[in-house]
A and B are shown apart, each in its own frame.
Chain A
Amino acid sequence: MCGIAGLFLKDEKHGKALGSMLAEMLAVLSDRGPDSAGFAVYGKPLAGRVKLTLRAAEESYDFEALAGRLAAQLPGEIDLLTRATHAVVTVPEAARPQAEAWLRQAAPEVSLFASGRAMEVYKEVGLPGAVSARFDLPAMTGSHAVGHTRMATESAVTTAGAHPFSTGPDQCLVHNGSLSNHCALRRSLAREGFTVETDNDSEVAAAYLTWQMGRGLNLGAALKAALQDLDGFYTFVVGTERGFGVLRDPIACKPAVLAETDDYVAFGSEYRALAGLPGIEAARVWEPEPATVYFWERA
């Protein structure tokens, strides 16, 4: 069992409340996933700059020093935002390959696990309410967000095994369920040049979608392809720079509720998670159909 929460705002009305709305949803889903929690928050896409989300083992890690060493390697300005065990380093887009290569080589003690023009990702072991508070999720703003509360089944309770998984720029995936063909798929993706970093089945699904989108499919089409190639139980919620998608397996093994108003689309594993959202009383609330792609994209 796991819990999923997702929000896609259609306009700027609730942008400042995005983090607090998601934090409340995750707290409600605590009893579906008390092991660990995580979330991806999408802000306004930066022009010409990229955010790299880094994670250290300890809160005492000196990200300032690391950022100083990185800055010395790169042309242009870099910015640093530290939140508990995580840091978001913003670098010029042109310097991104260089920054990533340097971080991997010179700072193996930190994990560079997400990047993008709009997305920041945070995840940790612990109760969802505590994880949200630790990273100050309620204060975060943006256009859409995806969150997860984990009750581990297929791999260990570690920060690396927590969701969301990000395997491509501004792409993230959260998963409730378990995949049965993730080993075979992992080998196929390896042949395509994709390294899946953890032994988690959900990361394989994320990498699969990244691979499909890399071949030119949009998120909706990539999710449709997943119906053919993924075997097992899944409810996925996926974010991209401008998109938000939902997919359930053909027998709809894992729960899902969608709500839509003029202002937002919201996803919850259970309606309870949506009950505190503004205007929910008047929202269209429905259970997404099995094997049906739901997909929203900002123009």
Chain B
Amino acid sequence: MSLVDLATTPLRELNAALHQLPPDTNNTQWTIRNPRGQHAIAVGIDAPIAVEIEGHVGYYCAGMNQQASVTIRGNAGVGLAENMMSGEVRVTGDASQAAGATAQGGTLVIGGNASARCGISLKGADIIVQGNVGHMSAFMAQAGNLVVLGDAGEALGDSLYEACLYVRGEVASLGADCIEKAMTEAHRAKLAALLAKAGMNGAVDPGAFRRYGSARRLYHFKVDNVSAY
């Protein structure tokens, strides 16, 4: 097990050490103390390791993550797990804006609330938020799932492509081309699997959610609009 105290170890040194881990590393348990809101902690890991961060982190924590399982015991700043490729990122508290932005794979679990633009341009990852999400969440999201146990702010799913959105609470408003869709047995099963992945197996009723998706009117070219180009 590696214990890194960011009060004494420079952040670049920690990130360099994480980047140098070979794919078959035995050094699979990392604990990071005193993050003190620093930016870009544990960014760019590509190894099957577990990283525990004890405290609040700044911007872009666990960005571009591959394979690793990163847990933050505190809040996270802007761009948590942005462009994650695989693995898992969990934050026990709140996440600031653009959590999971452009993430292509893996799972992001937010224990508290996420601010605006959660899952913006999502490209395949699964995001499960136990609290609320802010305005313009899943903006232009292309693939993947956003599950919100609380409420969603204004313009949810604006200009949405093929990502699936599930919200249990109130939705302040839907963005352009985002509509409510029928929740079938297949969707409930898919949602149950997502909740299980987030560690809420059986604790949350998938039947209590509503499903939202793209009306597909915006991203297909309409010949009537040809003169606009």
Interface, chain A (partner B; CB < 8 A): 251-252, 255, 270-276, 281, 285-287, 289-290
Residue of B nearest to A276 (CB): B36
Q: How far is the CA of A290 from the CA of B154 in the complex (A)?
A: 11
Determine whether the beta carbon of B37 is less than 8 Å from that of A287: no
Minimum CB–CB distance from A268 to chain B (whole Å) comes to 8
Q: Which of A251, A286, A287, A290 has the most B CB atoms < 10 Å from its CB?
A: A287
Q: How far is the CA of A274 from the CA of B37 in the complex (A)?
A: 9
Can you list 17 A-B contacts (CB < 8 A)? A251-B135, A252-B97, A252-B116, A255-B78, A270-B37, A270-B58, A270-B59, A271-B56, A271-B75, A272-B37, A272-B38, A273-B37, A285-B93, A287-B94, A287-B115, A289-B134, A290-B134
Interface, chain B (partner A; CB < 8 A): 36-39, 55-56, 58-59, 74-75, 77-78, 93-94, 96-97, 115-116, 134-135
Q: Which of B36, B37, B38, B78 has the most A CB atoms < 10 Å from its CB?
A: B37
Determine whether the beta carbon of B75 is less than 8 Å from that of A285: yes
Residue of A nearest to B95 (CB): A287
For B74, list chain A residues within 8 Å (CB): 285
| Given known A-B contacts A252-B115, A252-B116, A285-B75, A275 and B135 have beta carbons under 8 A apart | no
For A287, list chain B residues within 8 Å (CB): 94, 96, 115
Residue of B nearest to A272 (CB): B37
Q: Could you count the A-B residue pairs with CB atoms below 8 Å apart for me: how many are there?
A: 44
For A273, list chain B residues within 8 Å (CB): 37
Q: What DSSP secondary structure best describes chain A's contact surface?
A: loop
Residue of A nearest to B132 (CB): A289
7 additional contacts (CB under 8 A) given A255-B77, A286-B94: A252-B116, A255-B78, A270-B37, A270-B77, A275-B37, A285-B56, A285-B74
Q: How far is the CA of A31 from the CA of B39 in the complex (A)?
A: 12
For B59, list chain A residues within 8 Å (CB): 270
In the A-B complex, the 4 residue pairs with the closest CB atoms:
A271-B37, A275-B36, A272-B37, A271-B56
| Given known A-B contacts A272-B38, A275-B37, A251 and B116 have beta carbons under 8 A apart | yes
Minimum CB–CB distance from A288 to chain B (whole Å) comes to 10
Determine whether the beta carbon of B96 is less than 8 Å from that of A275: no
In-complex Cβ contact of A271 among B77, B97, B115, B116 (8 A): B77
Residue of B nearest to A250 (CB): B135
For A290, list chain B residues within 8 Å (CB): 116, 134-135
For B56, list chain A residues within 8 Å (CB): 271, 275, 285
Q: How far is the CA of A272 from the CA of B35 in the complex (A)?
A: 9
For A275, list chain B residues within 8 Å (CB): 36-37, 56
Residue of A nearest to B59 (CB): A270
Q: Which of B39, B59, B115 has the most A CB atoms < 10 Å from its CB?
A: B115
Q: How far is the CA of A133 from the CA of B59 in the complex (A)?
A: 29
Residue of A nearest to B74 (CB): A285
Residue of B nearest to A275 (CB): B36
Minimum CB–CB distance from B47 to chain A (whole Å) comes to 27
For B78, list chain A residues within 8 Å (CB): 255
For B134, list chain A residues within 8 Å (CB): 252, 289-290
